[in-house]
């Protein structure tokens, strides 16, 4: 890991120190995310799309209208 992410570095801004502590706590996950070829970005994109549609539809309809917005007209 770069020296700036070393939690022992002093004199850094509190945001950088907080970020470095978070990275250090989850170091194995960070290394795996950088080195492994797998990604869950497709899943995250679908979840984000669903949440956006739900927010847009809040109070306007029931499940059938939400389903038509997400999947398309049947």
Residue spans of the domains in the chain: they are: 3-35, 41-71
User: Given this model, what pLDDT does residue 38 score?
Assistant: 86
Rounded to two decimals, the pTM is: 0.41
In angstroms, rounded to a whole number, what is the distance separating the alpha carbons of residues 20 and 3?
A: 10
Structure tokens belonging to residue 35: 């080195």
74 residues of the chain, pLDDT tens digit each: 555 555 555 555 688 888 889 999 999 999 998 999 988 888 999 999 888 887 777 766 677 777 777 777 66
Alpha helices in 1-74 (DSSP H): 14-25, 27-35, 41-56, 63-71
Distances (CA, A) of 54 to 19, 21, 35, 40: 31, 35, 35, 21
In angstroms, rounded to a whole number, what is the distance separating the alpha carbons of residues 5 and 67?
A: 45
In angstroms, rounded to a whole number, what is the distance separating the alpha carbons of residues 41 and 54?
A: 20
């Amino acid at each position: 890991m770069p020296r700036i992410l070393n939690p022992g570095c002093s004199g850094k801004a509190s945001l950088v120190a907080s970020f470095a502590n978070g990275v250090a706590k989850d170091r194995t996950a960070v290394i795996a995310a950088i080195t492994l070829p797998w990604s869950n970005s497709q899943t995250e994109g679908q979840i984000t799309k669903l949440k956006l549609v739900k927010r847009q539809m809040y109070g306007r309809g029931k499940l059938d209208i939400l389903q038509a917005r997400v999947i398309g007209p049947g």
